Amino acid sequence: MNIRCARPEDLLNMQHCNLLCLPENYQMKYYFYHALSWPQLSYVAEDDGGKVVGYVLAKIYSASLFLREEDPDDAPHGHITSLAVRRTHRRLGLAQKLMDQASRAMVECFGARYVSLHVRVSNRAALHLYEKTLKFKREDVESKYYADGEDAFAMKRDLSGLAEQLEREAKARKQKMASLVTAETMKRPSLAH
């Protein structure tokens, strides 16, 4: 299994995965919109043969980002638009890996403070993933959110812990690089006579 950034040639396979997995289906222009607007936030899961077996589509809201959708909340934050994993590949941790990659990119690329999503109130498996595994919190119930009239939970996950972890990792990489440069410099003979 491999998780990687989605490419334009993946969009048709992502749409096909969506049609197999979810009652909410999107036209191809919706996938293009995400791929062109936030290319660093869409990921696919591939099986060993390179077949797309899952995907995540995400976007950023921020009043301060040029050419992005505006939101009254000025803090940059991500939103998961769609997450799907084919039934044959569920319970392998792919949904968690896709969500983690998208969340990481939200923090690294846009400084997102949190990520939000909507989920059907009847989708117990997704609720378990979001609440128990990914630590999302229910914020609100949005009445008749879906086209068939079902309500949705609006959920939110704070990304400050992830941001701190990424900052520590970057600092450790810098320190390691500095020590390697210092060690290499010490090995070189002095040019001074």
| 138 vs 1, more confident | 138
- Residue 70 falls inside a structural domain: yes
Query: Could you tell me the residue range of the domain that residue 36 belongs to?
Result: 2-159
Instruction: Report whether pLDDT(133) > 50.
Output: yes
- Residue 44 falls inside a structural domain: yes
SS (H, E, C) the chain: CEEEECCHHHHHHHHHHHHHHCCCCCCHHHHHHHHHHCHHHCEEEECCCCCEEEEEEEEEECCCCCCCCCCCCCCCEEEEEEEEECHHHCCCCHHHHHHHHHHHHHHHHHCCCEEEEEEECCCHHHHHHHHHHCCCEEEEEECCCCCCCCCEEEEEEECHHHHHHHHHHHHHHHHHHHHHHHHHHHHCCCCCC
Give the pairing type, strands 137-142 and 152-158.
antiparallel
Query: How high is the pLDDT of residue 178?
Result: 74
- Average pLDDT for 33-62: 92
Query: How high is the pLDDT of residue 172?
Result: 77
- Residue 167 falls inside a structural domain: no
Counted domains in the chain: 1
pLDDT digits (tens, 9 = 90+) for 63-108: 555 444 554 556 789 999 999 999 889 888 999 999 999 999 999 9
pLDDT digits (tens, 9 = 90+) for 1-41: 899 999 999 988 998 888 888 778 888 888 889 999 999 99
CATH number for 136: 3.40.630.30
- Residue 116 falls inside a structural domain: yes
Considering the entire predicted model, what is its pTM? 0.78
Query: How high is the pLDDT of residue 51?
Result: 92
- Residue 191 falls inside a structural domain: no
- Residue 112 falls inside a structural domain: yes
- Residue 23 falls inside a structural domain: yes
- Residue 180 falls inside a structural domain: no
